[in-house]
A and B are shown apart, each in its own frame.
Chain A
Amino acid sequence: MNWKQLSVLFVTFLKMSPVTFGGGYAMIPVIEREVVDKRGWLRAEEVADVFAVAGSVPGAVAVNSAIFIGYRIAGVMGAIAALLGICLPTFCIVIGLTAFYTVAKDNPKIEAAFTAIRATVVALIVYAAIKIGKTAIVDFATGALAVAAVALLFFGSGRIHPAWLIVIGGAAGIIIVKIKERMGKSAKITAQDEQVYDYSI
């Protein structure tokens, strides 16, 4: 086991971790600089493939790309090293913030702050919905699916586990496209250019 290579992998991704503040895709320039230019572990064209995979399997783009690159370079141990590198700083920061919140939350000023912050969280979520809505809702079928999802969540709360919606969505997509093909129409299944630089999705 090449410990030196693994530790270099670990440190490389450790340094990239703060960049994920801008969302996983914000890693792209940093990866190009560190992984392609500086260390020559990947070719520039391969970076696009990495992010295509990372965005298509479940999980966060940043973590997935770290796993993928680590795996390509040094197998399973490489994947683990890269994963640890990219996650450790954010892990510590979240723990720190959560601990702080736990002790501070009874402070009246903190309580007041969070009362406003809860409204902002709704805005954050709405913003995320708008961003994905733009690429997601491209025709009547997709619009209907989105509305159906909200309805199912509302009325199925406690009865239908939301995880099923993902499965239904994938299946529905396949079925709808097949139906459209039969009807001689084509569905817009190629996603419009998704924003490369985003914050949280």
Chain B
Amino acid sequence: MQLPWFQRFPTAEDTQTLYNRALSEPCPRATLTRQAEIFSSSIVAVGAFNPAIFTPDWLERNNLIGRDDLEDARKGLSLIVSHQVCAYETDWFALQVLEEQFSLTSKGPLTPAFADLAIGILSFVPHTPITAVGLNFLGHYRLASTEEYHQVGDVLAPKSIWVRLYPEEHATAGLADLTIRIQQTDKNRNQISGGEKQISIQPSAKVRYGVFFAYNDHHVVAPTNEAATAAELAADTISAYWELSWQDAVRVFDGVLSQALAR
């Protein structure tokens, strides 16, 4: 049985298919109606890690970061390296590794160099047992007015039920957090793999009259042969899907806002 595309190991054919698809489909950024005020990414891997390995010096020795980045990380107040946790940041990323979770977060402008760093790090720990990789994108979008701001919340989460439950004159109901999960299913609506997407929507804490979106593209890492270890497979997953997820996140964020405001 052919496994779904996001569960099996991405072969050369998969990569070519994705590449062709990316080329044949119009670039979603070209038709966007609005641009994020803040946009960032985070790559999270779940598994069993040895945090003490991932020091800034180790990254620099392996030529994954430069000398300036090393100095940045060393001087940072957040630097901590122990057996249980390794965390530090430079001016363009923050790394945090726990025994069961690896998390790389972008700072400043997002570029593919960020994914390259994650791929590079995981490539240097090929025997780390990784079970899942999440490609996360976070965006803050500014709306033109308070009316638009409330319209988005009202369209996504109608308040009629809550107004009936709390009819008091001075009570209001507002959307604080909405999460939608997208899963691939068969015709009986049974999930056919562990991979899924989650999109969360909240009021922005950073942008006035802004909406915050979080997009999680979750990939299960399940080595099916001995040719690749789990960490290599995780790196391949990031390599194959990170940019596509970025495009999809932007398409979804823009699509949600556009449709909500068109009502």
Q: Are these two chains actual partners, yes or no?
A: no
